[in-house]
Amino acid sequence: MPRVSRLALPLTAAALLTALAGCTVGPNYTKPEIKTPDAFASLDNMAGTGVTSSATSVAPGALSYWWRSLGDEQLASLIDRAVANNLDLKLAEARLREARALRGVSESALYPSVDTTGSAERRRNSENNGQPGSSGTRNSFRAGVDASWELDIFGGIRRDVEASRADLDASAEDKQAILVSLVAEVASNYVQLRAAQQRQLVSDNAITTQSETVDLTRSRLDAGLAAELEVAQAQALLATRRSQRPPLMTSERAAMYRLGVLLGQNPSALVQELAPKSTIPKLTGDIAVGIPSDLLRRRPDIRRAERRIAASSARIGVATADLFPRFSLTGDFGFQSDKVEDLFDASSRTWGFGPSVRWNIFDAGRIRRLIDAASEREKQSLITYEQTILTSLEDVENALVRLSNEQMRNRALIEAVDANKRAVALADERYRSGVGDFLNVLESQRQLYDAADEVVLSEAQVTDAVISLYRALGGGWAEPQPNPPQYEAPSAQTTPTTASQSAQ
C-alpha cells in the first residue's frame, strides 16, 4: 500500500472544496418588466402649449439642463451654486460614500484574513495540579501569523456582495433624486420671488391710481360736484390696496431666505442680489416629453426602487446559504519558546493548517423563517417599484393637465385685463362728465387691478407648471458644470411684466 503524505488529505479536501465553489443559492435577479401606456393621455389636449407629443423615446440627457429653457441667467446661476453647495446634496454624497465603503466591507469577505499575533507571559503553576513537572514558574514567548479563509461554496458571500452593490446603486439614485428635487425647488422659489415682486408693482400702480382718485374726489367735493360719501369710498379702497402690499413683501423675503438656505448660505445672503425686481421667467422652447416608458430609465426614484428589488433578491440568497455547511481553511505559523533569545530558532517553530466545517443542523426553523422574511421583503420592494412607476405617471399627467389649463386661464385673464382697462376709461369719462355713478369708477378700478394681480399669479403658475412637468419627467439629474459662472445682480429694476404694465 503506498504511503500517504501527511499533507495529502488536507490538500485534497481543500481542492475539493475549491472545486465546489461556484454554486450560488438563492434566486438570480431579473429586472421586472412593467407594462406602461404607449403615450400620455393628457397629450391629446396640449396643442399650443409648447409640449411636444413625440411618439419616440427622449434621451435622459435631453432634459439635463432644462432650466436654461426658461431663459433666465440669474436662475441658472442660482441652480449651479445650489448644486455645488446645498447641504442636503452633500449629505446624500456622504451617504453614497458610506455605501461605497460598505460594499468594500462585503467584498473583503471573499478573501483570506491574516492576523499577526504575539505574546509574552510569566506564569506560576500550582504544585498540586497532579501533573508532574508542570509546577513552578515559567516564561512563555510566542510570535506568529494566523490565517483563515471561508470558502464561499454556496455563494452566500457573493450574494451579500451583490446586495451591497445594489445598495450602492440605490444610494447613487438617492443622490440623483435629491438633485432633481433641489433644481426644481430652486426654480420654484425663484418664480415665487419674481411673482411677489411683480405683484408689488401691480399693487404700487393700484395705490397710485387710487390716490389720484381720492385727490379727484376731494377736488370735486370742494367744488361742490361730489358728495363726502364718494371721498370716503375712495379712501376705503385706497386703504385696502395699501393693506395688500405688506404680505407681498413678506412673500418676497421668504423666497429670498429659502433660496439662501438652498444654496447652503445664511438666509439673508442673497437679499442684496435678488432685491432688484425682475420678470417671471417663461418657457422659451418646446418640451419633449417622450413616451411613458422613458420614465423607467430617466426618473431616479424609479431606478432607485428597482435597485432595491435587486438588493432584496440577493439577500434571499444570503439567508438561504445558512441552510448549508460553511467550509473554511485555517492555518497558523509561528514561534514559541520559554526563552526570548531562542524564540526565533528553527526548533521553536510551530505550525498547523487544515479545513474546517460548521453546519447548523437544528435551530427550530429560524433559518427558514429568515428566508421567508427575505422573500417577503423582495415582494414589498416589487410593490414599491410598481407604485413608484404609477405615481410617476400620475405626476406627469397632472403636470400636463395643469400646464394646459393654466395657459388657457392666463389667456382669459389677459383678455379680462384689457376689457377692464376699457371699462375704467369709460367709467371715469362718464363720472367726470357727470352722467356716471362714482361706484362704477371704483368697481372698475378694483376689477382691473384684481385681474392684473391674477395675471401675474397665473404667469407664475404657468412657469411653475413647466417646472413640475420637467421634475415629473425626471429632468435635471445630470452632473453640474465644473465651474459655474458667477451672476452679477443688475443695479436697476428691469421692465415689469405685461400684466403690471397693462394695469398702469
Question: How far is the C-alpha of 319 from the C-alpha of 368, rounded, in Å?
Answer: 8
CATH of 22-112+154-327+389-502, one of 1.10.260.40, 3.40.50.300, 1.10.3720.10, 1.20.1600.10: 1.20.1600.10
Contacts of 165 (CB under 8 A, 6+ apart): 103
Mean pLDDT by 10 residues, the chain (504 residues): 45 50 81 89 74 66 83 93 92 92 89 86 70 68 86 90 93 92 95 95 87 80 76 85 91 95 94 94 85 88 94 94 89 82 80 86 89 94 95 94 92 91 84 75 82 93 94 74 46 42 50
Give the per-residue pLDDT at 87.
93
Contact call for residues 477 and 300 (beta carbons, < 8 A): yes
Contact call for residues 240 and 213 (beta carbons, < 8 A): no
| Angle, helices 73-85/87-108, rounded to nearest 10 degrees | 40
Contacts of 473 (CB under 8 A, 6+ apart): 63, 287, 289, 290, 294, 295, 298, 299, 396
Task: Kindly state the cell numbers that stand for 497.
Answer: 411684466
Sign of CA dihedral 252, 258, 262, 263: positive
Task: Kindly state the cell numbers that stand for 210.
Answer: 387710487
Sorted by where each begins, the domain ranges of the chain are 22-112+154-327+389-502
Give the per-residue pLDDT at 115.
87
Nearest one of 397, 375, 262, 390 to 318, comparing CA atoms: 375
Give the per-residue pLDDT at 304.
94
Contact call for residues 215 and 231 (beta carbons, < 8 A): no
Give the per-residue pLDDT at 128.
64
CB count in 10 Å sphere of residue 115: 10
pTM of the model: 0.83
Residue 296 half-sphere exposure, CB side, CA atoms within 13 Å? 14
Give the per-residue pLDDT at 482.
46
Task: Kindly state the cell numbers that stand for 242.
Answer: 395699501
Contacts of 318 (CB under 8 A, 6+ apart): 26, 156, 159, 160, 163, 374
Cell 431666505 locates to 257
